[in-house]
Amino acid sequence: MNRALLVIGLGVVAFAVTLAVYVGTHLSNEAMTVLTGAACGMGAVLPAAIIGALSLLRRRDAERAVPPAPYAASQYPPVIVVASPNALPAGAGGWQGMYPQEFSAPVGARQFSVIGEEGVGR
């Protein structure tokens, strides 16, 4: 069995080399340049793709191995703030009665200046 695989493997390699030589002798220089560039590009990207795939698989396996902790003491617990019934003055609906009037924005005429048009409109 092992010898048969060796013979088949050598046959496949010999076929690939023969096909490459045949195609290489029949192609134009421009087509050969394109094929050479494509082969070099694939050779340059292949190590980065392999490293990225191995890193992704290792991270995925590490995430599966460690179960999530139910609750750690360093985390803050969820907090819900409930206002007492007398926090708002009687009759104040919504935000209108929350703040004194002097803290609200002034209501008056606003003046705008357009940059680059200093003398226009005044």
Asked if residue 59 is part of any domain, the answer here is: yes
Asked whether residue 72 is assigned to any structural domain, the reply reads: no
CA distances from 82 to 52, 72, 85, 87, 97 (A): 49, 25, 9, 10, 18
Q: What is the pLDDT of residue 96?
A: 53
**Tally of CA atoms within 13 A in the half-sphere of 83 that contains its CB:** 5
Write 16-20 long-range contacts (CB < 8 A, 24+): none
pTM of the entire predicted model: 0.38
In a domain, 47, yes or no: yes
Q: Is 32 exposed, middle or buried (0-12, 13-18, 19+ CB in 10 A)?
A: middle
Asked whether residue 83 is domain-assigned, the answer is no
Position 18 in a domain: yes
pLDDT band at 55 (very low <50, low <70, confident <90, very high): very high
Flag whether 29 is in a domain.
Answer: yes
User: Which residue range(s) make up the domain with 19?
Assistant: 2-65
Lowest mean pLDDT among 4-8, 38-42, 67-71: 67-71
Number of domains making up the chain: 1
* pLDDT of residue 32 exceeding 60: yes
* Buried b / exposed e along 53-82 (16+ C-beta atoms within 10 A): eeeeeeeeeeeeeeeeeeeeeeeeeeeeee
pLDDT digits (tens, 9 = 90+) for 36-52: 899 999 999 999 999 99
Q: Residue 73 — φ and ψ, nearest 5°? A: -70, -25
Q: Is residue 16 part of a domain?
A: yes
Does some domain include residue 27?
yes
Q: What's the length of the chain?
A: 122
Average predicted confidence (pLDDT) for the chain: 78
